[in-house]
Amino acid sequence: MVSISRDEWGVPHVFASTIRDLYWGFGFALAEDRLFQIDMARRAFTGRVSEVLGRGYLGHDQAVRANYDPASIQAQLDALPPADRDVFAGYAAGFNARLAEVLAARATLLPRDYTHYAFEPVPFTDADVAMLWIGSLANRFSDTNSELVNLALRDELVEMHGALKARAIFDQLKWRNDPLAPTTIPEADRPAGQIPRSFPHRDPKPLSLAARARVLREASLRQRGLLPDAAPMASNVWVLGPSRTAEGSTMLLNGPQFGWFNPSYVWGVGLHMPGWDVVGNTPYGYPALLFGTNGHIAWGSTAGPGKVVDLYQEELDPADPHRYRHAGAWHTMARRTETIAVRGEADVAIEVFATLHGHVVLFDAAQHTAYAKRRSWAGREVESLLGWIGLMHAHTPEEFLGHCERIAISVNFYYADQAGNIGYALMGRYPQRPDTQDIRLPAAGDGSMEWQGFHPFAWNPKILNPAQGFVANWNNKVSADHDNTDTFIWGAADRVSEIIDILAGDARLGADAMWDIVNRTSFPDLNARSLIPLLLAAAAGHPATTLLQDWDRRGDGPARALFQTLLPLLVRAVFGRDLPAREVEAYAATHPPADPPPLQSPNINPGVKALVNILGGPRPGVPATHDFLAGRTPAEVMRAAIEAAWASLVASQGDNPAAWRAPPAPRTRFRATDFMGIPMTTPDAAPEIASFMNRGTENNLVIFGAGGVTFDDVTPPGQSGFVAPDGTASPHAADQIRLYEAFGRKRQHLTPAEVAANAASTRHFTP
């Protein structure tokens, strides 16, 4: 027997006595709310969009098919014991039961989206269930790599300056370890020790011009979230222990920044079996709740910064581009054929090649090279998901970490419990690399840079009950000994300081003050914290001083107008002589555009972080290997930029600074596509709110108090994505937008008694 009760916000609570039945109810309830979204998500993550939407999505499907091995996923599922297999089988069966119910009553139950796009849903499989998680979490949040983009930049610098000067510039832009970068684990708890301050020197073969153009073109698409391995570097969290809260309790607040989409990126649910209750929310209906509580513990997550993916530069046989040299011998690449169905056209076949390191992501025929992607978590995708499912049953830090050890992908995890413990740990399976490998650039594929094993889980950075009484993260450096990678660049300027400064105060926070941090950190100009003190020192006597020194870094008034005009000028003045124009303009994109891309989460970009280092003067940990100022002093450069910005505003807005205004802030638009541009509903269903907020796609707050545990959240636009064939939307399709806009929150229910007391409807099923 399965029961599904829904509360006033439409959140379902599934009651069952077996795992299979529990997930049957999970799948059924999810299909009631999000049938079209989840159907399109499984197509997006398995490369089957063209089958229903046509040739326009063929490029997407080709990229996805080449980026994972379906046979490996199926083999992992087939090897599971029955208890674990029941999760996937039950979920698929429940989803398909609702699908059958819908198809039997198309006139009232088939979502309007299917009529708009003129196709119908087909049943789910166990592998489809797994791919929801693998495609959007493992293959999005733990599969990013910037080594080819870095190689393209290095090649451009060599062309501009020669090898020696290029190396100096590259090293100053992409330093190894800044001791002033704020960390999630306090340095007192995990000191840096005697770590190297520079990367080893090596010169991989350059890209051909054609390959470089492709790499940069695809990188541009990734930045807009239109390729499956777009680099996500967003989400924040703060966790307080008893010494930091007004009630002497533990509290955890998470703001995962997935982007804003309709239907909501996340879905709320409660799961209940005899002796076990859990409530929370999760993206795309994963069978594991990414954010939740079981009454004993609470957990949350942010994007993991650990390096779990390397690219290998393979030397190819000039006589056969599918043979590569390794350990002194030629080897033939593995090959498989993927057949992609295209609506209204003949099928399209693609070939996917792999070396012993992994699948090939780029052939550079002119250079007789190829680049293969090696993932430390390959073959452990399903096991990682099961680890996340298992931790929902933990009661103690030790039990929690026992399940976390199974998770091979890179994820930051946060923890609080009713016993007063708080903690943090970096998940993932991390290779032991040779000292000769420069992790910013592709490794040599000839056998000289092979991994030398894997670090044990004990090596992973983690902390339980730090002396400071809190844990905070906004995708910042995790510990003092954690180096920058090919993708993540951490420095003294970091947005996490917005959170740390609040938490480090003397006040003990209550629930409302804890939640209000969301508001307080959503609007400041993140660049200004580090740069304004430098600008004020350089601009003594200039009228800009008055504007900037009293600015609270919010609003659209004269100070913001001046700063937003000034900063791009300053970036161009410092980097314009020495970097390729495209890199300069990327660094000069210092503030969100009027229509931010779907993955936009305002941050301090790497160029501005480097700018702060340069203008602040050389210091240990950040090499001053090149004079970007061309003999000028930092004060001279800043003063000139201030004067240029001032003159620009006078020319464009008049000579009364009090009347100056920055461009209007972007709006928050809940896009009708997913983060890769795949439709999740009809194009007209993209609601907006006026103010752009640098906050979570959803926010959730767990508090362990004397009266038990509470879980509050807000998951806009709403719980449901259902629009009936006649165009009538579910009452829960957008009922959380105004709550979100006003920084409100709603209560979730954990215990069966709470669920029963707040049930708006209940259905009973016999699977």
Residue with tokens 């900063």: 567
* 153 burial type by CB count under 10 A (0-12 exposed, 13-18 middle, 19+ buried): buried
What residue numbers bound the domain in which 622 lies?
528-663
The C-alpha atoms of residue 461 and residue 238 are separated, in whole angstroms, by 17
229 vs 7, residue with greater confidence: 7
596 SS3 class: coil
| Residue 691, pLDDT score | 81
Copy the structure tokens of residue 410.
Answer: 């890179």
How sure is the predictor about 602, in pLDDT bands with cuts at 50, 70 and 90?
Answer: confident
Q: Residue 601 — pLDDT band, cuts 50, 70, 90? A: confident
Structural domain tally of the chain? 1
Instruction: Name the nearest CA neighbour of 546 among 107, 557, 137, 429.
Output: 557
CATH of the domain at 659: 1.10.1400.10
Closest of 500, 446, 474 to residue 694, by C-alpha:
474
Q: What is the dihedral of CA 170, 477, 432, 409, to 10 degrees?
A: -110
User: Would you call 235 a catalytic residue per the annotation?
Assistant: yes
User: Is the bond into 321 cis (omega within 30 degrees of 0)?
Assistant: no
Which secondary structure element, helix H or strand E, spans residue 33, and what is its range? helix 19-46
Q: Which of 10-24, 219-233, 519-533, 562-576 has the lowest mean pLDDT?
A: 219-233
Q: Which residues make Cβ contacts (< 8 Å) with residue 71, sequence separation at least 6?
A: none
Does the pLDDT of residue 599 top 70, yes or no?
Answer: no
Alpha helices per DSSP H over 378-484: 381-391, 397-404
Amino acid 227: pLDDT: 62
Q: Rounded to 5 degrees, what are φ and ψ at 415? A: -145, 145
Give tens-digit pLDDT for 80-100.
999 999 999 999 999 999 999
What pLDDT, on a 0 to 100 scale, did the predictor assign at position 264? 96
> What does the pLDDT look like over 19-67, one tens digit per residue?
999 999 999 999 999 999 999 999 999 999 999 999 999 999 999 999 9
DSSP label of 644: H
- Indicate if the pLDDT at residue 749 is higher than 90: yes
User: b/e string for 278-313 if b means 16 or more Cβ within 10 A?
Assistant: bbbbbbbbbbbbbbbbbbbbbbbbbbbbbbbbbbbb
Q: Is residue 619 part of a domain?
A: yes
Least confident of 24-38, 189-203, 237-251, 387-401: 189-203
| Cα(648)–Cα(483) distance, integer angstroms | 40
Confidence of residue 608 (pLDDT cuts 50, 70, 90): very high
What confidence category does residue 225 fall into, taking pLDDT thresholds of 50, 70 and 90? low
Average pLDDT of span 428-457: 97
370 within some domain:
no
Domain assignment present for residue 589? The answer is: yes
What is residue 520's predicted lDDT score, i.e. its pLDDT? 97
Question: What letter does residue 138 receive in the DSSP assignment?
Answer: I
Which strands sit side by side in the sheet containing 422-426, from one edge to the other?
A: 462-464, 422-426, 411-417, 297-303, 291-293, 276-283, 266-273, 12-15, 2-6, 761-765
Tell me, yes or no, whether 760 lies in a domain.
no
pLDDT of residue 232: 61
Higher pLDDT, 639 or 224: 639
8 Å CB contact between 691 and 741: yes
| Cis peptide preceding 263, ω within 30 of 0 | yes
Phi, psi of 235 (to 5 degrees): 135, 145
Rounded distance, CA 163 to CA 425, Å?
40
Confidence of residue 219 (pLDDT cuts 50, 70, 90): confident
| Alpha helix segments (H runs only) across 576-694 | 581-588, 606-616, 634-653
Q: Which of 5, 235, 301, 730 is catalytic?
A: 235
Closest CA to 262 of 711, 760, 671: 671
Helix or strand holding residue 748 (H, E) = strand 746-748
- Write the pLDDT tens digit of every residue in 228-249: 666 666 899 999 999 999 999 9
pLDDT for res 230: 61
* Confidence (pLDDT) at 251: 98
Q: How many CB atoms are located within 10 Å of the residue 159 CB?
A: 12
Q: Which residues contact 350 (CB under 8 A, 6 or more apart)?
A: 62, 65, 66, 337, 338, 340
Q: Is the per-residue pLDDT at 317 higher than 80?
A: yes
| More confident position, 664 or 157 | 157
Contact 255, 238 (CB under 8 A): no
Confidence of residue 177 (pLDDT cuts 50, 70, 90): very high
652 domain residue, yes or no: yes
Exposed e or buried b for every residue in 376-411, given b needs 16+ CB within 10 A?
A: bbbebbbbbbbbbbbbbebeebeebbebbbbbbbbb
Tell whether 623 is covered by a domain: yes
Residue 579 covered by a domain = yes
Output the pTM of the full model.
0.95
Sign, Cα dihedral of 94, 97, 99, 102: negative
Whole-number average pLDDT of the chain: 95
How far is 26 from 102, CA to CA, in rounded Å?
Answer: 17
Question: How far is Cα 287 from Cα 271, in angstroms, rounded to an integer?
Answer: 10
The helix/strand/coil state of 313 is strand
Whole-number Å distance between alpha carbons of 561 and 719: 38
Provide the phi-psi class of 188: left if phi over 0, else alpha when psi is between -120 and 50, else beta. alpha
- The DSSP bridge partners found for residue 3 are 15, 764
User: How far is Cα 26 from Cα 21, in angstroms, rounded to an integer?
Assistant: 9
- On whether the CB atoms of residues 274 and 319 are closer than 8 A, the answer is no
106-110, 291-295, 302-306, 320-324: lowest mean pLDDT where? 302-306
Give the start-end residues of each E strand in 236-319: 236-240, 250-255, 266-273, 276-283, 291-293, 297-303, 309-317
Please check whether residue 273 lies inside any domain of the structure. Answer: no
Say if residue 706 is exposed, middle or buried (CB neighbours under 10 Å; 0-12, 13-18, 19+): exposed
pLDDT > 90? residue 146: yes
Helix (H) or strand (E) holding 668: strand 668-669
For the chain, how far is it from start to end, CA to CA, in angstroms? 7
- Check: CB of residue 308 under 8 Å from CB of residue 142: yes
pLDDT at 598: 63
Residue 358, H or E segment: strand 358-364
Question: Which has the higher per-residue pLDDT, 140 or 294?
Answer: 294
Other CB atoms within 10 Å distance of the CB of residue 120: 14
User: Beta 266-273 vs 688-689: how paired, if at all?
Assistant: unpaired
Model pLDDT, residue 620: 74
